[in-house]
Structure 1
Amino acid sequence: MPGPHLIPRHAAAQVDAALADTRVVLISGARQSGKSTLVRIVAGDRLAERRDLDRAQDRAAAVTDPVGFVDSTDLLVIDEIQRVPELLLAIKASVDEDPRPGRYLLTGSSRLFGMVAAPDALPGRMETVELWPFSQGELDGEPDGFIDAIFALGPDLRHESIVTRAEYAFRTVRGGLPEATSRNDPRRRQRFLDAYVQALVDRDVRQLSDIQHKGELRRLVRLLAARSSTIIAANSLESALGLSRPTISRYLQALEEIFLVKRIPGWSRNLGTRATAAAKLIFVDPGIAANETAVDARSMLRPGAPFGPLLETFVLSELSRQLTWCEQQAELFHYRDQSKFEVDAVLENRSGQVVGVEVKAASAVGPDDFRGLRRLADRLGDDFIAGVVLYTGTSTLPFGDKLRAMPVSSLWQVAAPSEGGRRVSEWDGRAGR
């Protein structure tokens, strides 16, 4: 049993459930987001062997004899499977011969489906559980139930908060990477984040793409951080970087494959229009975006500082985390139409019901802040569940039918209604960093 210093992870119950009925389970997510520790906890009660492909000797054995490497009668845990993607064929053959559930538990810091070298992604045999850096609810022991609650209660959802603007700034620059959250000295956190991004560029991106301009790639990361929460097109970056559009597109894809950035697609009722709509880009961890733009918690509060886009990155990343474990099966989009009406986040469930979310780095809001949400409500009619402006104030305020202003902290302090104020899981208290 892990010690009390380990922070419970919502994903633990998902991994445990998947092992009960699926042959291969993959935990995918950014490096140092807590995958290895989560695996140790989940596999702790089982007979299991473990391999780590970040170790040279394990990697050499896997390349030399992939069939022998994956041969195990017990649960076999393989960390960083993207280092030797050829193992997927050997795993496929093994689970086809012996289809018992819970045969393999894999971790990966790159998306297998996007890897050129991956020969087979085990369709029909593998379930993927996405692990993000810590959510605010995981860090605070709060329920993280906003998405389930807003779809269930709509504009009847209420929340009062005591979180200040200064605390929101601190939470944003801290981010959620376990190593970063454990460093109280901002300078030590900065050094860790600098080294973290450089390591991704030097090692992980190079594995996925032919990198000929490593210096320009590093500048691209900084440029993207300065434009986080905006619509990013490769052609808009050409002049700034002196790189061709195909090269920039390839680098953007690689950065997304290693979970450094995430692209949020545009929303439309028309699926054809949705497929071609420009995507908005955010950093998976807002602390990295803040660090890349040399912003700390104090300077974020100064006039002219990028508090708005960084807070939006913070909110969108928290929503993205929550979508990986909430009961509501929904997807995240953004909205922008030809008349320049915009909504920062659009959550749509499988029934076509929609919740719109705007983000304002202000302690007061007004009717104009609901302009995009009203447009969305007019388009959707009864399918529009609620429109919420998340702001840095303390109270829930009505601004018309189905429209509310709510504190940003409702994202993690609100509980899913079905759970009586607390997210319950047999794994509660057992998963760690």
Structure 2
Amino acid sequence: MCPGYISRNVTGVAKETLSDTPITVVSGARQVGKSTLMQQLIRNRDARVVNLDDLGDRSAAEADPDGFAAQYPQGLLAIDEIQRVPDLLTSLKASVDRDRRPGRFIVTGSADLLSFRGSQESLAGRAETIRLEGFSQDELAGRIADFASFAWSLPSDKMPTDHPALTRRDYLEIATRPAFPEALARTGRARDRWLSSYAERLLSKDSTDITGIQYPDRLATLLSVIAARNSGEFVAARIGREVDIPERSIPAYLDALRSIFFVRSISGWSNNIANRAVSTPKVALADTGLAAHLTGVDIDGLETSVSSPLTGGLIEGFVVGELEKQRAWSEKSFRMFHYRDDYSREVDIILEDRKRDIVGIEVKASSSPRSGDFKGLRYLRDRLGERFVAGVVLHTGERSLPFGDRLWALPLSALWSS
């Protein structure tokens, strides 16, 4: 293990995949640590590493993708940034079809292999994808948290375990801190310069090369709007008018941002419990530290009443991000949604398992949870009955409190200390 290396919680899952699947794909945004994780996974293995960001390796792969894929049959071939040569995916498929031994290839990609331009092969049945994001809070603390499993086992008759006491300002600092390893190692103006350069390069270079979008300036404008209303519902017509982009073009621009892991979205949830449920997705930047940087606010600004909608959106986006990171290693299989109906009943986050049981989560930037914060959770509890496992209001205070049948108020730190 390298000095200063922070262990990634997906490592165990990735090792399992290497042991039983021919191709392991480590997918995620640039600069989240994919190459470092790959190096850790191939330690003590007979492996050869090639990087398609390198002009020589890329030229060889483009000239003879079949030969490139077959260059190291006696061991594991590790290919960094495979989205640079899409045709190589078809060659990997053909190679695996001839020899389906597990652990033959490990590849990293800074784009969604199922959606990026030029990809003709999904590798279905031959590959498993490990999604890697920036550091989670439990990784930074040197532990493995699983909030979903914790929420599904919340007691109905006693207080949950205590969690670390942090102030509202502590939480704002955590939520506005970038999760990219290199950015996290910097502070002040050096961090700001890194984040500005990161966004500029991805929007001006990768967005065009990977997605084919020809107007990166439009992407930049759209990204700024998403950051300003982080975790807000994404209505294409309204967004199009705001950024002066035709409504019909908005889905393609949003897909481009998603394909390079710049933003994430969660769909509306109805499950037939209400006829007036809204299906509009919520969209947020994948990294709330980058979102805060693009909006040009600091912690002091976020604490003012003028900025409170932005504060709430950043905190909610942070919670969604932590849950998404943990989903990669959670013992509980779940999907994530949000809920709102035409009667103003809403729940910020819905976790649904394979039995279609749910845990509802409200996120509040305030430090004092109130009974009214549970309005949407109570509605779902009463409509769903036994399918409603628990309702949680995550807040920026210090105390865990019961609020009735299967309802709890918990500090945000429960996300990574559970």
Q: Structures share a fold, TM > 0.5?
A: yes
Q: 1:348 to 1:96 in 2, by over 3 A?
A: same
Which amino acid is the alignment partner of residue 184 of structure 2? Answer: T
TM-score of the superposed pair, with normalisation by structure 1: 0.92
Confirm or deny: 8 A CA contact 1:154 1:385 kept in the other structure.
no
> Does the CA-based 8 Å contact 1:2-1:41 persist in structure 2?
no
How far did residue 119 of structure 1 move?
1.2
Deviation at residue 186 of structure 1 after TM alignment = 2.1
Q: Aligned match of 2:256 in 247, 254, 257?
A: 254
In structure 2, distance between residues paired with 1:107 and 1:290: 28
Q: Distance in 1 between matches of 2:44 and 2:176?
A: 36
Tell me how far apart the structure 1 counterparts of residues 82 and 88 of structure 2 sit (CA, whole Å): 8
Query: Please, what TM-score do these two structures have when normalized by structure 2?
Result: 0.95
Aligned to 2:137: 136
**Structure 2: distance between partners of 1:231 and 1:106:** 34
Aligned CA distance change for structure 1 residues 248 and 322 (closer, same or farther; 3 Å) = same
Instruction: Tell me, in whole angstroms, the C-alpha distance in 2 between the residues paired with 1:53 and 1:231.
Output: 37
Q: 1:321: Cα distance to partner?
A: 0.8
Distance (Å, rounded) in 2 between the aligned partners of 1:52 and 1:133: 21
Amino acid of the structure 2 residue aligned with 1:176: A
> Would you say 1:53 and 2:56 are equivalent positions?
no
Q: Which has the higher contact order (CA 8 A, sep 6+)?
A: 1
Identity %: 42
Paired with 1:154 and 1:219, the residues of 2 have a C-alpha distance of: 46
Of 153, 164, 167, the match for 2:167: 164
Aligned equivalents of 2:363 and 2:379: distance in 1?
16
Give the SS at the match of 2:125. Answer: coil
CA contact (8 A) 1:265 1:274 kept: no
Q: Which of 233, 243, 246 matches 1:244? A: 246
2:114 counterpart SS class: helix
What is the aligned length? 412
Indicate the residue corresponding to 1:2 in structure 2.
2
Distance 1:272 1:127 in 2: 36
Q: Quote how far apart the aligned CAs of 1:322 are.
A: 1.0
Q: Give the letter for the 2:327 counterpart.
A: L
Question: 1:354 corresponds to which letter in structure 2?
Answer: I
SS at match of 2:7: coil
Q: Distance in 1 between matches of 2:321 and 2:132?
A: 12
Shift of 1:275: 12
Structural mapping, 1:220-299, within 5 Å: 220-270=222-272, 277-299=279-301
Contact 1:159 1:407 in 2 (8 A): no
Give distance in 1, aligned partners of 2:161 and 2:361: 15
Q: Unmatched 5+ residue regions in structure 2?
A: none
1:383 pairs, out of 387, 391, 404, with 387
Tell me how far 1:154 sits from its aligned partner.
4.7
Distance 1:273 1:41, change over 3 A: farther
Structure 2 contact 288–317 (Cα < 8 Å) conserved: yes
Partner SS for 1:304: helix
Shift of 1:165: 1.1
**Is contact 1:390-1:405 (8 Å) kept?**
yes
- Secondary structure of 1:265's counterpart equals strand
Pairing of 1:9-408 with structure 2 (within 5 A): 9-71=8-70, 72-73=72-73, 74-155=75-156, 156=158, 157-183=160-186, 185-270=187-272, 277-305=279-307, 306-408=310-412
d(CA) in 2 for partners of 1:396, 1:64: 61
Instruction: Specify the code of the residue in structure 2 equivalent to 1:167.
Output: D
Contact 1:159 1:406 in 2 (8 A): no
Question: Which residues of 2 match residues 391-430 of structure 1 at below 5 A?
Answer: 391-414=395-418
SS in structure 2 at match of 1:51? strand
Q: Could you list the runs of 5+ residues in structure 1 that have no partner in the other structure?
A: 415-433
Question: Which residue identity is paired with 2:223?
Answer: V
RMSD: 1.8
Distance 1:93 1:275 in 2: 45
Counterpart contact for 2:116–2:211, Cα < 8 Å = no
SS of equivalent residue, structure 1 residue 339: coil
Given that 2:277 and 2:340 are in contact with CA atoms closer than 8 Å, whether structure 1 keeps it comes out as no
Letter aligned with residue 169 of structure 2? A
Task: Tell me the amino acid that sits aligned with residue 58 of structure 1.
Answer: D
Deviations 1:401-425 (A, max 9, x none): 11110000000011xxxxxxxxxxx
- Alpha-carbon distance change, 272 to 60 in structure 1, aligned in 2, over 3 angstroms: farther
Give a deviation string over 1:260-283, Cα, whole Å, max 9, x none: 101101112149999982111121
The alpha carbon displacement at 1:299 in A equals 2.1
Structure 2 counterpart of 1:421: none
